[in-house]
């Protein structure tokens, strides 16, 4: 196989959501698996709807997910390439000007449907003479430009969907350029894929029909022996069958991040839903990559339950090694030789990462002890072992207390937890106690 070059090509007209993360990560993990390159391409030819803020936000979202691009390009900086390609198509008679208004086209479509015909563009513009075109232009009419499809079946072997074919005779000649000279997505995408040497186009199955058109363009504009391979994956839908939309903002990556959902949980759900592997926590993108094989993606619906995300996120946290979170802990000033044992002590209790701050305060800062039974706690104070402390200190201490007081179970342990942590539940005290140290423990026992 050629060293893969893949691209994720969002249009920066909104924030990306879980479904976009699926496409982005399919591309990123595919590149990572085969030591290829992952290109981030902003499809920002629609200058009105595309915003630099959205592009910047998409970069932030991808970085948060860990999908770092090797290269970033913007279509808005590449118009000259598209113009040159369009010129070649014109010279070959494959790009032709059309003057119909949207209303006219609509009326024609309705008439076709009324007669039981497929609503395919009738190529009336091809019948215009030079004089007709000159007259229309003189009236101030501006053409849009259509690609003249060859009426034949285009076939490809899709990495997800298997043998695929589309009869282009049943398609309208697609508009490549609007009246105002702006580009629709079809041509720039092909020009860039050729220019950047894209080997695999991995995208949602909503683009299957475009592939037939684009393959005809690849054949004309590129080296036919090197058209990319295609993989069209199924789209994520929530369990109620709803799709995800950029506009609704539902399950946006930014929203999930702000809600404290772990990026690896988002990645696991986005990638493993509808795969041959069950959705389960992963410790790293490498692990996710090892569990992901694009050719094993199911063709059926990729349904997921958004309510699963919180539990998946918590379980993801519980399995993360210290190395995976070192920097994030440091951002909370949790550093030094106690940072790692602290992480190992508390991770199993977290539902969101930000709760580390709560537990760090418990071992490091001030807490208000909850005193339930002062006499018992006084006894506990008297029996508190001398340092050095380790993970056995807790059982030594509570063993001695049990002997001295005859207490057991909750009556033995719970007042200690309340006094030492100020809370009625939390991580194992055997792990917390050595982090707390004797001086702090004493200060919290009356």
Q: Tell which positions 189-208 bind ligand GLU, by CB under 6 A.
A: 189, 201, 203, 207
Which residue's CB is nearer to ligand GLU, number 246 or number 338? 246
To the nearest whole angstrom, how small is the minimum distance from the Cβ of residue 185 to ligand GLU?
6
b vs e for 256-282, b when ≥16 Cβ sit within 10 Å of the residue's Cβ? bbeebbbbbbbbbbbbbbbbeeebebb
Q: Which two tokens stand for residue 322?
A: 């210290």
User: Whole-angstrom Cα distance, residue 291 to residue 302?
Assistant: 17
Q: Assign 144 to helix, strand or coil.
A: strand
Q: Assign 168 to helix, strand or coil.
A: helix
Q: Tell which positions 202-241 bind ligand GLU, by CB under 6 A.
A: 203, 207
Q: Tell which positions 160-189 bind ligand GLU, by CB under 6 A.
A: 185, 189
Compute φ and ψ for 155, nearest 5 degrees: -125, 145
By CB under 6 A, residue 10 contacts ligand GLU = yes
Q: Tell which positions 24-43 bind ligand GLU, by CB under 6 A.
A: 43
By CB under 6 A, residue 143 contacts ligand GLU = no
Q: Which of 86, 87, 66, 75 is closest to 24 using CA atoms? A: 66
By CB under 6 A, residue 17 contacts ligand GLU = no
Which residue's CB is nearer to ligand GLU, number 198 or number 433? 198
Beta bridge partners of 219: none
Which residue's CB is nearer to ligand GLU, number 39 or number 416? 39
Which residue's CB is nearer to ligand GLU, number 206 or number 390? 206
To the nearest whole angstrom, how small is the minimum distance from the Cβ of residue 189 to ligand GLU?
5
User: Whole-angstrom Cα distance, residue 331 to residue 323?
Assistant: 14
Beta bridge partners of 155: 165
User: Whole-angstrom Cα distance, residue 25 to residue 31?
Assistant: 10
Single out the segment in contact with ligand GLU by CB under 6 A; choices: 5-13, 337-345, 420-428, 434-442: 5-13
Name the helix (H) or strand (E) containing 208.
helix 208-221
Q: Binder to ligand GLU among 5, 6, 9, 168 (CB under 6 A)?
A: 9
By CB under 6 A, residue 21 contacts ligand GLU = no
Q: Which of 254, 293, 244, 286 is closest to 272 using CA atoms? A: 293
By CB under 6 A, residue 11 contacts ligand GLU = yes
Which residues sit at the interface with ligand GLU, rule CB under 6 A?
9-11, 43, 185, 189, 201, 203, 207
């Amino acid at each position: 196989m050629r060293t893969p070059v893949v691209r994720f090509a969002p249009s920066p007209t909104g924030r990306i959501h879980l479904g976009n993360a699926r496409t982005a990560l399919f591309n990123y993990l595919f590149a990572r698996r085969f030591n290829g390159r992952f290109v981030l391409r902003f499809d920002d030819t629609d200058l009105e709807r595309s915003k630099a803020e959205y592009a910047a936000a998409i970069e932030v979202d991808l970085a948060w997910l860990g999908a770092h691009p090797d290269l970033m390009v913007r279509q808005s900086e590449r118009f000259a390439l598209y113009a040159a390609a369009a010129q070649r198509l014109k010279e070959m008679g494959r790009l032709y000007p059309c003057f119909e208004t949207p209303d006219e086209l609509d009326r024609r479509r309705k008439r076709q449907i009324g007669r039981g015909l497929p609503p395919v563009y009738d190529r009336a513009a091809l019948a215009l003479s030079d004089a007709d075109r000159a007259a229309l232009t003189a009236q101030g009419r501006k053409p849009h430009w259509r690609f003249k499809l060859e009426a034949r079946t285009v076939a490809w072997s899709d990495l997800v969907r298997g043998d695929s074919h589309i009869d282009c005779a049943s398609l309208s000649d697609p508009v490549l350029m609007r009246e105002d000279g702006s580009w629709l997505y079809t041509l720039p995408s092909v020009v860039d894929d050729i220019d950047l040497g894209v080997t695999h186009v991995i995208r949602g199955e909503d683009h299957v029909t475009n592939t037939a058109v684009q393959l005809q363009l690849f054949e004309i504009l590129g080296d036919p022996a090197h058209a990319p391979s295609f993989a069209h994956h199924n789209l994520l839908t929530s369990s109620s069958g709803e799709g995800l939309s950029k506009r609704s903002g539902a399950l946006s990556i930014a929203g999930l991040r702000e809600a404290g959902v772990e990026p690896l949980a988002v990645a696991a759900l986005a990638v493993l839903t509808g795969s041959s592997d069950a959705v389960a926590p992963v410790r790293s993108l490498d692990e996710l990559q090892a569990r992901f094989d694009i050719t094993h993606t199911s063709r059926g619906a990729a349904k997921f339950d958004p309510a699963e995300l919180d539990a998946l996120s918590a379980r993801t946290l519980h399995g993360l090694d210290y190395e995976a979170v070192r920097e994030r802990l440091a951002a909370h000033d949790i550093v030094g030789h106690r940072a790692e044992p602290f992480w190992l002590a508390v991770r199993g209790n977290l539902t969101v990462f930000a709760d580390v701050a709560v537990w760090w305060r418990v071992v490091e800062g001030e807490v208000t002890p909850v005193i339930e039974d002062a006499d018992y706690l006084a006894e506990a104070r008297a029996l508190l072992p001398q340092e050095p402390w380790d993970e056995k200190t807790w059982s030594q201490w509570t063993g001695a207390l049990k002997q001295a007081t005859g207490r057991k179970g909750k009556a033995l342990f719970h007042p200690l937890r309340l006094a030492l942590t100020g809370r009625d539940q939390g991580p194992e005290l055997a792990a917390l106690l050595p982090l707390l140290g004797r001086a702090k423990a004493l200060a919290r026992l009356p």
